[in-house]
Structure 1
Amino acid sequence: MLAVFLVVAVLVHAVAAAEDFGPCYRECVPGETRVCKFKFHEEIYNALNSACGRCADGEVADCFARACVPLDGVERTVYTINRKLPGPALHVCAGDTVIVDLQVRLPGHADTIHWHGLHQRDTPHMDGVSMVTQCPIPSGQTFRYQFVVDLPGTYFYHPHNGIHKVNGAVGVLVGRAPRALDPHADLYDEDLAEHAVFLMDWMHVDAEYVFPGLHKPLGQTPVTVLINGQGDFQQADGNWTKTPLAEFRVRRGLRYRFRVINSGGLSCPLTFRVYGHKLTIIASDSRDVQPLEVDTLYTFSGERYDVVVTADQDGDAFWVHSYAATCSAPAEQVAVLRYDSAADGTLPAAPRPSARPGLLQPEGVVMNSPACTGGWPGQRCATDLQSLEAPDDPRMLGTAEPDDRVVQEVVFHGYTNEELFDTEYYPHFLTFGRNIAGTIGNVSFKMPSTPLLTQPGESPTCGGCAPGESFCVCTHVLPVRLGTRYEIVLVDATDVTGRVDSMITHPMHIHGYSFLVLALGTLANITSGR
């Protein structure tokens, strides 16, 4: 087994050094912008196919053959971009124009690509949300996305039609600022494309297998995690697959900017830890923050953190570890942080980390755990992140009343069998311990029949349920006034009395906007009043 790992480490490093990060990956210079063109071919593909040769048998060089998608060594059908998973990495400079010609090759399916985190100012029709900003692209057709990456930051792309994201077709998108304009430039020495950390929760079956879900087994939980599309997996017979781990090379004494992306599509947050090293958070969701040092990140679907890792420890190799928290099974993955002083193939001297499922608190300082209230030492919550440049408008800081306030309760509606299986009524649902539908303000969202942005008024919408209704299904639209500053209060009223669906976790974000987190708390206990 050791010999296998030694060979893996040598070849992974060689491949990473030669990887193409796109035509616009360069040292960014103030005032210098480019037009960056890419061609995407999205298709249904199979991991570990014949392009991989004997990769599954431990011939690691074959794992990096052209068109081979090795993943964790378990064969399955996937969605790929250009027969890669993750797809091509797009590294550009802030201000660059990105042009992507997406050809969809999904027989019987249509798709769109969303550029997660970009505001799309002046180009909302390029946001890539099926039936909201555009029609889905039919199989066999090509659609051109064109937009400016106006703000520096860590982003990513993924399908935004149905549940395609869970099957793949995801990738890194980074917009860099010139060092002279980066407020954190003095905190790190290197910002390298190969230090993007792309986390994926992963199943060994197609997404359609678990949506809406099986009655037994329950849930839509991952069986493993992928780090930059790589990893291994312990099979039922106790043997590990022979696919290579991801690795990150560093030079001793230097400080590195790592860009951690959670591209997950399931219900469990993913942790990120580099053993033996602190993580200094300098950006969250592409917005600069006051530096905050932690040991472990909890990241939720769609979230990105930029952290600085200093290569100043004794030793030559260290484990990088991610696991799916709050899940019932120990879905996890490891990678290797390797110093330049280490011989190729050096593995960490410490034992391989093992996952601890559930709401267990990792050691040290932890950022944004699912039960985060700031109630125990070492816990850091979203409210502990301070914007580097807070606005001077008191309405945006919570020190003055906002122009308007929107309060929405987030809760699951539980169907009765009579309600769900009435042959005259076909509601959408998930099976997660019980048959449920997610709601915001008691409304379960129904996709419109025409895109809301390009064909407004053609599809019926609602602003909430009719008086007296505790649950409804419609195209939920909340109108807002231009130039108004809103305070949005989201109340998670999920029943936590032991039902399985009480462990579902999901972040909230708004396309086209950034926002400030003003407060975080828990609901009062109706018995104690606290």
Structure 2
Amino acid sequence: MGLSKGNDYIMISNVLYRFALFATPLLIMSSFADANHVLDRCDSEKHEVLSTPHECARPCIDGEKPKTCYYQFYLESYVTMGQACEYCLPNITNQLNATCQCVTADGVERAVLTVNRMIPGPSIQVCKGDYVVIDAVNLMSGQAMSIHWHGILQDGSQYYDGVPFVTQCPIADGNSFRYQWLAGNEGTHFWHAHHGSQRIDGLYGSIIVRTEKSFHRNMYDYDRPQDVIMLSDWFHVSASEHWPGTQVVNMGQNPDSLLIEGLGQYTDPATGNTTTTPLAVYKVKPGKRYRMRCIVATSMHCPYEFSIEGHRLLLIATDGVNIEPTWVDSIMSTGGERYDFVLFPKKNYSQKSYWIRLRTLDPCAGIQQFAVLQHKGGPDLPSSPRPVYNESFVTNGVVANAMNVNCSDNNRTELCVSDFRTTISYDNNIGDEPDFKHAVAFNFTAWLPADLYKPNSYGRFLMVAKDVPLSANLGQLSYVGPPSPVLSQFEDVPPDVFCNETHRPVPVGGVSMCTNMMNIPLGALCEFIVYDPSATTGLNHPMHLHGYHFHVVGMGLNPGKYPVLNNTVIHIYDKQNLLPRNFINPVLKDTVTIPSRGYVIIRFPANNPGFWLFHCHFDFHMITGMQMILHVGEQKDLPPVPPGFPKCSDYKPPIESVYEMKYL
């Protein structure tokens, strides 16, 4: 049974459990559950023919007219293992028609946030060139929200990138907002809440943009809607109970559990009891080849390892961009990255099932979750026992995106992201001298209690352990959002809220809090050296850039004699050619994991005007200040603000006397 906060709860019978295992969740969820509410399935204002999610999740055909794909997202507060689970369990039919509103997660009852009462939420699966329209309806009482479409470049649709106070006002509860964008770049992407810690509580889902001429199409037989693997970490309480963090109960930000495609089981360490909620099941036929799309939708500060018992993985894409095929045994990753791989179930593997495993690594070691790869005719569960945490499927296997390895060591078996190569040449001038070159460090500043709790001061902090309050920053600037969206209301934002590394406000307790923004000329070739200045090995931060793919031209550990990296040391190493770069088809990413105490060098042409967020994809780090805005181009380079676009700002009118207010 699922563990609840009461003594008795819903009993899931073996019959129901086996049925739920058999019925693998199919990720072309219908958020368009009742198309009849749209008159003749047309937009009443433009008479645009709207296609349902079912119609849009189709094989892409050369020469086919693009569709306008319409989705409705209802965001609300909800609960796992709730009363709805007395009536049904999620299965293929339920997911397609959104008729079953039971959310099981790992079987532990808790309050969550959902879109259309599903975790993950509805999957957007379209063809390249389709126009995507999403009406987001906020039913979360007392919470504002926004949705970011992670991996969608938004070239021409900058106003729909979904970042509060950068590209739009937050959507207040009771209000709705229509997002619309062109599916212009193919690949595996995802959507998630971009306001506070809402993504952690369940607001995320997949985006798949297919094309009729996929580069690796001859390498697989199937690219099915259901072969999406969303990986997420999971608390057993709301994320707000971990931010800014407590001193006694639920200290720190380590996850309690993990989910694979929103499903899992949990063993209570106090009692040893394990929930019997369904696991995700992926059904395959031996001898066929399957394109699998793995999305790392995790939010915490942990690295993760993904692997499949008895199967190697042929990587063919990352972050939506094709790479030269590369065989690996496991994938390490942090939040925001995506990896597409081809799975080869061998003919002699018939009538068998295998474990799919996700596990945490240091500093969150000890947590793992499972799904099932079921070959045709195989049992509901593998015959082999679930591996214990320290047991690996393969000894000395090839690890993709390995953490904290020496990427210049030619004898290693691990693969750095910088080892991958794109399949075609992009941006042939990427090796030219950059027009804009910048080194930026991410870091934490420890608050002194006398500064943090000084009367009439209200600095943000993250309590990572007892009596350890930290402020997060990029370039020693801790980001605080402006009062109005800079994209649509730039003139309404007071100039003194902005800062950069040469224009800093007076720090409070060593922390400068402001809207950290860097201006970049449109068309400039940019190079960023992003590095970790920590003195001891610690975290691996995933850095995500909105609106762009960037080339990873170099990465590695501290290469020289200086024990700690800083801007001066980075400059010295660069002059000594200790930071090598590769300009031959370097991999394209939108999210990259920085080695602990190491660096990553990225390059990109600044050809997409706008205000684009660059931030750590660990949610608590981001909302504590580890982010900045890259302002590319000028106002004249931007598309016009959409008619009727919502506005927001501070409101501080002159103070009137009681007499003046009465007789106005």
TM-score (norm 2): 0.73
Alpha-carbon contact 1:198-1:229 (below 8 Å) kept: yes
Q: Deviations over 1:150-197 (max 9, x none)?
A: 01111111111111111111111111111xx11101111100111100
Match of 1:386 in 2: 421
Match of 2:584 in 1: none
- Greater CA deviation, 437-446 or 459-468? 459-468
Distance 1:184 1:446 in 2: 43
What is the correspondence of 1:120-269 to structure 2 with a 5 Å cutoff?
A: 120-178=154-212, 181-216=213-248, 218-235=251-268, 236-269=270-303
Shift of 1:234: 0.4
Calculate percent identity across the aligned residue pairs: 33
Alpha-carbon contact 2:505-2:514 (below 8 Å) kept: no
What is the correspondence of 1:301-450 to structure 2 with a 5 Å cutoff?
A: 301-312=335-346, 314-315=348-349, 316-342=352-378, 345-356=379-390, 363-374=396-407, 375=409, 377-391=412-426, 393-394=428-429, 396-397=430-431, 400-433=432-465, 434-450=468-484
Amino acid of the structure 1 residue aligned with 2:486: L
Distance 1:7 1:112 in 2: 36
Shift of 1:17: 6.2
Distance 1:296 1:202 in 2: 22
Residue-pair matches, total: 515
Alpha-carbon contact 1:201-1:324 (below 8 Å) kept: no
Amino acid of the structure 2 residue aligned with 1:438: A
Amino acid of the structure 2 residue aligned with 1:317: S
From 311, 315, 319, give the equivalent of 1:281: 315
User: Which of 1 and 2 has greater Rg?
Assistant: 2
Alpha-carbon contact 2:28-2:225 (below 8 Å) kept: no
Q: Deviations over 1:407-452 (max 9, x none)?
A: 1111111111112111232111111132111111110000111111
From 115, 130, 147, give the equivalent of 1:81: 115
Alpha-carbon contact 2:25-2:280 (below 8 Å) kept: no
Question: Closer, same or farther in 2 for the Cα pair 1:229/1:148, shift >3 Å?
Answer: same
State the secondary structure of the residue aligned to 2:545: coil
Distance 2:132 2:109 in 1: 33
Q: Deviations over 1:208-263 (max 9, x none)?
A: 00011122454211111101111111012101101011010001101100000011
Shift of 1:350: 2.0
Alpha-carbon contact 1:271-1:323 (below 8 Å) kept: yes
Match of 2:85 in 1: 52
Question: Closer, same or farther in 2 for the Cα pair 1:380/1:61, shift >3 Å?
Answer: same
Question: Closer, same or farther in 2 for the Cα pair 1:266/1:362, shift >3 Å?
Answer: farther
Question: Closer, same or farther in 2 for the Cα pair 1:37/1:462, shift >3 Å?
Answer: same
Shift of 1:327: 3.4
From 101, 120, 129, give the equivalent of 1:95: 129
- Greater CA deviation, 321-330 or 280-289? 321-330
Match of 1:461 in 2: 498
Distance 1:223 1:132 in 2: 32
Match of 2:555 in 1: 520
Computed over aligned residues only, the root mean square deviation of the Cα atoms, in angstroms, reads 2.9
Shift of 1:355: 2.5
Distance 1:60 1:121 in 2: 35
From 21, 32, 50, give the equivalent of 1:12: 21
Shift of 1:368: 1.2
Q: Deviations over 1:345-399 (max 9, x none)?
A: 4422222123249x9x9741111122133356320011111111133524x14xx
Question: Closer, same or farther in 2 for the Cα pair 1:61/1:148, shift >3 Å?
Answer: closer
Distance 1:321 1:310 in 2: 17
Match of 2:649 in 1: none
Alpha-carbon contact 1:318-1:348 (below 8 Å) kept: yes
Q: Deviations over 1:455-495 (max 9, x none)?
A: 11432211225399664111000000010000111011124
State the secondary structure of the residue aligned to 1:52: helix
Alpha-carbon contact 1:55-1:243 (below 8 Å) kept: no
Question: Closer, same or farther in 2 for the Cα pair 1:468/1:138, shift >3 Å?
Answer: closer
Distance 1:212 1:118 in 2: 30
Q: Deviations over 1:485-520 (max 9, x none)?
A: 001110111242xxxxx6333211210000100101
Alpha-carbon contact 2:284-2:345 (below 8 Å) kept: yes
Alpha-carbon contact 1:71-1:231 (below 8 Å) kept: yes
Match of 2:521 in 1: 481
Alpha-carbon contact 2:314-2:328 (below 8 Å) kept: yes
Distance 2:169 2:491 in 1: 15
Question: Closer, same or farther in 2 for the Cα pair 1:362/1:525, shift >3 Å?
Answer: farther
State the secondary structure of the residue aligned to 1:516: strand
State the secondary structure of the residue aligned to 1:125: helix
Question: Closer, same or farther in 2 for the Cα pair 1:392/1:134, shift >3 Å?
Answer: closer
Shift of 1:6: 7.8
- Greater CA deviation, 444-453 or 22-31? 22-31
Match of 2:606 in 1: none
- Greater CA deviation, 383-392 or 257-266? 383-392
Distance 1:65 1:481 in 2: 50
Alpha-carbon contact 1:403-1:484 (below 8 Å) kept: yes
Shift of 1:114: 0.6
Alpha-carbon contact 1:155-1:304 (below 8 Å) kept: yes
Distance 1:269 1:55 in 2: 35
Q: Which consecutive unaligned segments of at least 5 residues does structure 2 have?
A: 2-11, 31-52, 565-572, 579-664
Question: Closer, same or farther in 2 for the Cα pair 1:18/1:104, shift >3 Å?
Answer: closer
Alpha-carbon contact 1:253-1:312 (below 8 Å) kept: yes
Shift of 1:60: 13
- Greater CA deviation, 263-272 or 182-191? 263-272
State the secondary structure of the residue aligned to 1:111: coil
Distance 1:390 1:110 in 2: 42
Distance 2:185 2:420 in 1: 20
Amino acid of the structure 1 residue aligned with 2:171: I
Distance 2:444 2:139 in 1: 35
Distance 1:284 1:438 in 2: 28
TM-score (norm 1): 0.91
Distance 1:20 1:218 in 2: 36
Distance 1:297 1:18 in 2: 22
